[in-house]
Every structure is written in C-alpha cells, then in structure tokens.
Amino acid sequence: MKSVTLTDNQSGKRVEFPLLESVLGSHVIDISSLNKELGYFTYDNGLGMTASCTSTITYIDGDKGELLYRGYEIEELATNHNYLEVCYLLLNGELPTPQEYRVFEDDMRIKRYPNEGIKKIFEAFPDKAHPMAVLSSAVSALSAFHFQHLDIKTHQEYMEMARRIIAKIPTLVAYTYRHSMGYPYIYPDPNRYFSENFLYMMRAFPNGKVKISQVEIDALDAIFTLHADHEQNASTSAVRLVCSTGAHPYAAISAGINALWGRAHGGANESVVDQLEMIGDVSKVDAFIARAKDPNDDFRLMGFGHRVYKNFDPRARVLKKMRDKLQAELGISSKIIEIANRIEEIALNDDYFVSRNLYPNIDFYSGTLLLALQIPRSMFTPIFVIGRTGRVDYPMDGAKTRPKRQNHTPTPTLCGQC
C-alpha cells in the first residue's frame, strides 16, 4: 500500500500514513491515527479539504466541468433517462432493465399516498408559513407513521424505506403548496408518471381537467435528475451526521431539508430570480454588467461561477437546452427570461467573465425554467428537495457497480456546494 511519511519537527518522530487511492479523482491521506501517533488533530476550516467518507455514487471534476452518477455522465442521464431510472441507478449502482424498471415504478406509484393523519399537520400551520418549514415538519412526522424504519438491519429494509420516502416527498410538497394557497388537496394519480403526477397535484382542482405537455414533464424530470446528488454537500452531510446517531432516517432527511433551505445552498435559484426582477428591464442589463465588473462596487451577478466547477457547470448546459426547448414549444415569453438571456449573451462573450471562469451555473437556469413551468418562487427549494431525495444515503452502501463505471472517490464536505 502506498503511504505518506510525516515528520514531527518538535520530536523528530516520523510516521507513515496510508494513501487511499480512488478510481477517479485525487488520492487522500488517511490520518485517522494522527492523534494516536503524534498527539495532534487537524484543522480544516469549513472541511473544504477533508474527506469524511468514500463514495461510489458521484464523481465531480470541477476543472473539466464533469459530473458522473455511478460512472454515467450527467448529460447522458438527464437527456436519455427519466428521473426514476436515475433513482434506481443511485440506489442500486446500475440502470434498471425494462422488467426491473416496471417493478420499481409500480411500487413507487403505490407508495405515493401518505397516511391521512399527515393532513392534520398541514392544517396546523398558518397559510403564510414558509414551505420549507412545513415540508421539513411533515417529513419528520413520517417517522411517527413509519416507525418500523428506525431499526434497519437488511438491505431490503433499507430499499423499502428509500422507495417510500422518494415516492411520498412529491405528495408532501404538493400538499405544502396547496395549503399555502388555501386550495383543496389533490390525491396522487396512480396512472400518471412521477413528474407528470407532481404537476397534476400542483395544478388540478376536483373534477377539473389539467393540460400537461410532454415538454413540461421532460423539463421537470431533468431538474429532478440534475439535483439528485452532488457529493458531500451541506444537506447530505447533515443527513449522514444525524443518521449516524441512530435517529430515524426520516428525521435525518428532515434535518437535510432544513440545511437545504438556506440561500447559500438550495435557495440560490430564488436569489437569481430576485436579482432579475430587481434589474427589471433588458435596457438596464448593460449598467448592471458594468457594476459587476467594477472592483469598487460590491454588486455581484447571481447564478455565475461555482465553488466546485471552474468550467461550465455540466448541469447548466442541460437546463439551458431544456429551457430553450420549453420556450420554443410552448411559446413562453417573459421579461425575466429576456433579461436572463441578455445577461447570458454578454457574460459568455465577455473576457472579464470568461477569464475568471464565471460561467452560468445550474441556479441561473433552474429559476427561470421553474417559472416557465408555473412553479411559484416559494416552491423552488421544495422542488430541489424532491430531486435530492432520489439519492437517499445509506452508511453501509453495498450497491453493485460495474468496474468500468466505478467512480469510487474520497469525498470532502463543501457547504453550499449544492
């Protein structure tokens, strides 16, 4: 095994530490015995350079602008596979066969319905309560209705828990929205696909017909897929930390939802739309671009650049194509989208932004795309929750992964990494 030797300049003692090799990405020094050998701890503010686990799920190369789920490129998955196929991939390590998919989706359709008692929890909240506060409470309450998941001993029990939470989250998000609007709750439609069913629960009224186009379903499906996982970010870390205490998995997921709430994490696309509305008109874009380039002005364009990606965010490429397709097929036009398109046009051709790797990121496109799907801004982060729940973490990850698809890598924690 390869190793790294550290020398203590105080005592002169030399200690070898194992070097953990990854199939993809950087190698990592295993310093778990540092305190025992030398009496020291490490200090890494923000844990930006510390790997707290290894993963065979997601791999990111920020310099290349590359994102892989189980070894599959994100563009391939978001373009050629639906969200439930991606959920199956994340949980099992490989894409499903047609038969495996049918069994998986049929089970998910059955599990969409939460216990009727959950509705009483929604009724206890004021109409103007923040959707994330309501949603995290509802998910935490699921632990009371599914207490059998507290003591998971087998992989089969874990899969049952994971499928149940993935299936129920869209229903809880739709209930959250309809409670905020004072609308009657709409039950899931077992005859509709996952993303179509969510749009149905958001838009429908009793005995009313709902028009949902295929391009809308595809767009929402892509958003869910692109948000499904992104290594050891703040919300994932929160779930793993709470789960490590032996708490109920749904209570841990509730903690992750609260971590996702913040504008430095899941709420970033709301900030993008806020800024576009603040700019107000295409004619004002040039002035705000000039402010963004002025070193003496603290104004910064939201939705540009990324802590991880030093190239174009691969998720942003997919969403840009999907947003353009949505506009073309549905004839959608709005002042917000016009402003966003003008900013994008300038930034992609301006050396100031290009030389600093300030490319549009996923938040720049997802906000305007969600508006085009008639999703109100208050529901942007709950939409993120639906997608991210597709990767329900499991400490004893025993999923099979083909060697040629494997992307086993130590994963540092980066708060706000999304």
CA 331 to chain centre: 28
Given the residues 218, 221, 363, 393, select the one marked as catalytic. Answer: 363
Q: Beta strand 66-69 with 409-412: parallel, antiparallel or unpaired?
A: unpaired
Q: How far apart are CA 106 and CA 109, in angstroms?
A: 5
CA 314 to chain centre: 14
Q: Is 193 helix (H, G, I), strand (E, B) or coil?
A: coil
What residues contact residue 8 under an 8 Å CB cut-off, 6+ apart? 14, 15, 38
What residues contact residue 121 under an 8 Å CB cut-off, 6+ apart? 137, 138, 141
Whether 155 sits among the annotated catalytic residues: the reply is: no
Q: How far apart are CA 58 and CA 314, in angstroms?
A: 14
Q: How far apart are CA 289 and CA 415, in angstroms?
A: 28
Whether 393 sits among the annotated catalytic residues: the reply is: no
Strand order in the sheet with 58-61: 58-61, 66-69, 72-73
Given the residues 81, 227, 265, 306, select the one marked as catalytic. Answer: 306
Q: Are 94 and 402 in contact (CB under 8 A)?
A: yes
Q: How far apart are CA 241 and CA 255, in angstroms?
A: 9
**What is the torsion angle, in degrees rounded to the nearest 10, for the CA atoms of residue 226, residue 146, residue 204 and residue 221?**
10
Residue 302: HSE in the Cβ half-sphere, 13 Å Cα cutoff: 23
What residues contact residue 325 under an 8 Å CB cut-off, 6+ apart? 215, 219
CB neighbours (10 Å) of residue 180? 20
Give the helix, strand, coil percentages of the chain, each rounded to 5. 55, 10, 40
Q: Mind telling me the catalytic residues? A: 306, 363
